[in-house]
Amino acid sequence: MDFRQEFIEFALAQNVLRFGEFKTKAGRLSPYFFNAGLFNDGTALDRLSQFYAKAILSSGIAIDALFGPAYKGIPLVAISALALAREGRNLPFAYNRKEVKDHGEGGSLVGATLSGRVLIIDDVISAGTSVRESVELIRAAGATPCGVVIALDRMERGTGDLSAVQEVQRDYGIPVLAVATLDDLMAYLRERPDFKENEAAIARYRQQYGVARCP
């Protein structure tokens, strides 16, 4: 089992990935739900960090620094930096405040000074708002955004024909890495007869709202 399949299994065990009927922000009734906020203890975060590190290292992208958008990206960028350091890649990281600090060092960025090629680390991409804000902050600091890494790519259309991930890739010309995608989830379910009904429900949902894998 590769790390993407292991991640799906881990997310299920942590109840981060659940099956049922869930209403999305777009008003769709989804047969599955992914909530990265439920990776909420030390052991789970340690394991999660290893999956992020594997996804980043396997991508082959040249990276000089890491950035985590507030708020969920803050713990994610910190644990990813730790996991990468354990693998011999010690990278500086920074994150932003939602409110600009008007005393002390001031500004909205905390952590390392951003320079070179910066990878954005987040949980998911919904509307792409945090990515847009992150790209603007990184460029304003004189650095270059080189990609985004997220936990799960639902590979689902937004308001148009593209998914939020595809829109980010189109608008900013940077790759979006995912620890796992809907393709990986479907592959996992196909090997599990006990999830046959869930696989069928997700396949129907995907036929209605899904997009093809990004090139």
Tell whether the torsion through CA atoms of 96, 140, 92 and 148 is positive or negative.
positive
**Strand (E) or helix (H) holding 74:** helix 73-86
Q: Is 101 a catalytic residue?
A: yes
Catalytic residue among 23, 98, 101, 196: 101
Q: Is 103 a catalytic residue?
A: yes
Closest CA to 114 of 64, 174, 182, 50: 64
Q: Which two tokens stand for residue 77?
A: 């960028």
* Distance of alpha carbon 182 from alpha carbon 161, whole angstroms: 17
Closest CA to 70 of 111, 41, 40, 33: 111
Q: Which residues form the catalytic set?
A: 101, 103
